[in-house]
Amino acid sequence: MTGLKYLLFLGCAIPYRVSSYEISTRKVAEKMGIELVDMPEYNCCGLPLDPVSHDIMLALAARNLCVAEQQGLNIMTLCPGCAGTLRKVNKMLKEDKKLRELVNGYLKEVGSEFKGTIEVKHLIQVLAEDVGFDRIKEAVQKPLSSLRVSEHNGCHVLRPVKYIGFDDPENPIMLKRLIEATGAQCLDYLDETECCGAPISGVNEKIPLELARDKLNHIKAVGAQAMITICPFCHMMFDTNQSRIERMFNETFFIPVLHYPQLLGLAMGFSPDELALKELRVDASKIIDTSIAHNMRTSEK
């Protein structure tokens, strides 16, 4: 368990508007003994531009991989979009000689070369595979055993199987197990693996909101007190847009949406302020109070 060290790839969406995810990750990682080195000179992973030009996506992703190769460190990302893209391109370039030649031709112009010496993982993959569930359970000081939540995996952490190869996209269990390691109960719900719709928000506002509404309804139906996400875009759909969805469809949800490291951080004993829970649009103080009160009762006994 010693010497876990990664290059932290922040991507675009997290510094743009989801800093609570970054703040809580850094807190949790430090206490877990995961050393995070801010990746220097990184650029967009490439995914947002893939619809315009596949070649610029490949070149941008490959350049990021080269930066990590020069540093001699594996990459950890917080955004599933970045993780999926960098993992996919890393695999494609390692396996497809012709493609590697093409991309290395581009990279030569900026003094880089893809060698295929590093790996890319999303935060939850690092936690599940490298840190391990036992170590996470040991770090939990205040089990959230009174809390019932539901998870929403980011698509690109799981799919497509042939490029990603983590967990089972048809029945994902890793995030559930990570949630259960905090003591909270993770409830199943209908259409759990469905996309939040966020990627098409720029061309169609209505469909993503309808999709997010559908998922919020399914989560509400099973009685979850909160939703746990691991993606900045999914988080925007469910947290930032929740009041908008409520107004649009004349419904009420009041379901707080926490980034997984916020949930883990609470269980590890960090204060809500340290985990930037105030930055959430949907007030999470009710569920925090419930879990803290429960812990106090349990410790009194």
Binding site for other proteins (CB under 8 A): 10-13, 15-17, 19, 22-23, 26, 38-44, 48-56, 58-60, 63, 96, 99, 105-107, 109-110, 112, 155-156, 159-162, 169-170, 193-195, 197-200, 202-204, 206-208, 210-211, 214, 276
Q: Shortest distance, CB of residue 41 to other proteins, whole angstroms?
A: 4
Token pair of 64 as six digits:
């990021």
85 or 291: CB nearest other proteins: 85
49 or 292: CB nearest other proteins: 49
Q: Shortest distance, CB of residue 255 to other proteins, whole angstroms?
A: 19
146 or 150: CB nearest other proteins: 150
Q: How far apart are CA 129 and CA 113, in angstroms?
A: 29
Q: Round the CA-based radius of gyration of the chain to a whole number and report it.
A: 19
Q: Would you call 159 helix, strand, or coil by DSSP? A: coil
Torsion of CA 245, 249, 250, 251, to 10 degrees: -70
Question: What Cα–Cα distance (Å) separates residue 212 from each residue in 22, 103, 111, 218?
Answer: 23, 37, 44, 10
- Furthest CA-CA distance within the chain: 67
Walk across the sheet containing 120-122 and list its strands.
Answer: 34-38, 4-9, 74-77, 120-122
Q: Would you call 18 helix, strand, or coil by DSSP? A: coil
Q: Shortest distance, CB of residue 222 to other proteins, whole angstroms?
A: 19
26 or 115: CB nearest other proteins: 26
Q: Shortest distance, CB of residue 85 to other proteins, whole angstroms?
A: 10
102 or 140: CB nearest other proteins: 102
Q: Shortest distance, CB of residue 123 to other proteins, whole angstroms?
A: 16
206 or 297: CB nearest other proteins: 206
Q: How far apart are CA 253 and CA 183, in angstroms?
A: 24
Q: Shortest distance, CB of residue 280 to other proteins, whole angstroms?
A: 15
